[in-house]
Amino acid sequence: MNTSVLLERSEYLLEKIYQATDDPSPILLFDATELAECREQSPVWLDCARNPRVLEFMRQEPKQWPGLILESSVSTDTLLEHLRHILLVRFGEQRKGVLCYCNPTTASYFFAADAAQSHALWLGPVSRLSWYGGTWADQAEDKERWLSVDNPHAAQWRTMPGAARARLSQQQEQALQRQRREYFLYQWWKRQRDLSFTQASEYLEQGMDLGFVQAEELQRFLDLRLRYAHHDLPRLASHTSNEDRLELLRRHWQDKESLT
């Protein structure tokens, strides 16, 4: 079994790698793909047999070395072919995008989103995938930890030249949407005091249930909801604009406040 790492790109990552080992032979994942022009943002793959210190640092200081630890028995070329294949994915009707799966936060949503049998498609020849991290909710509550996904089908995996791009399942799309939603909430929550992320999540759900889905209007709703947290939500007419409904909320809670 061979162990390698796929490190998320940061400004000084290559410098850190060369400080850790004399001859790391890093491979940029975006090379030989449609993303080659963005190679300066490319994740970096390293063979741990050549770079044991990088793996050691990653396990000791995982927040300083964000990325994935991969265990596989196939050749380097075969492994990289698969890792590059799942970079570009299909979703929705005819949409495609880049799946940043080596980001530990993304991995925490994506690889937990679907049934175990789907891991065979995404992990391919990787028998075990490990990373340190968690969701945005985990990070807000200081619950980051080592996570892993096993793929019992790795030994039966075979490369398929010319295979179509992998398609995200509905559960995976929903998981990535949840990641974006919780990232937005996390950024807002960090600016508040004495507010749990769980309570902030409830406020966000209330706002979305009322039809506020754009970032600016959601933020305005959250600010209002926090300011008047001790008041109940009123019923709002559905035929008015979101701008008018936010103003109605503000006036309603202001009036309630003046009576207390």
Domain ranges of the chain: 2-168, 192-258
pLDDT of residue 238: 75
**What percentage of the chain reaches a pLDDT higher than 70?**
97
The predicted-structure confidence for 100-144, as pLDDT tens digits, reads as follows 999 999 999 999 887 666 778 899 999 999 999 999 999 999 999
pLDDT of residue 113: 82
pLDDT of residue 160: 75
pLDDT band of residue 158 (cuts 50, 70, 90) is confident
Residue 92 has pLDDT above 90, yes or no: no
Whether the CB-CB separation of 35 and 95 falls below 8 Å is answered with no
The predicted-structure confidence for 30-84, as pLDDT tens digits, reads as follows 999 999 999 999 999 999 999 999 999 999 999 999 999 999 999 999 999 999 9
pLDDT of residue 89: 93
Name which residue leads in pLDDT, 46 or 234. 46
pLDDT of residue 115: 65
SS3 track for the chain: CEEEEEECCCCCHHHHHHHHCCCCCCEECCCCCCCHHHHHHCCEEEECCCCHHHHHHHHHCCCCCCEEEEEECCCHHHHHHHHHHCCEEEECCCEEEECCCCCHHHHHHHCCCCCHHHHHHHHCCEEEEEEEECCHHHHHCCCCEEEEEECCCHHHCCCCCCCCCCECCHHHHHHHHHHHHHHHHHHHHCCCCCCCHHHHHHHHHHHHHCCCCCHHHHHHHHHHHHHCCCCCCCCCCCCCCHHHHHHHHHHHHHHHHHCC
Two structure tokens written together for 83: 């890792």
The model's pTM: 0.91
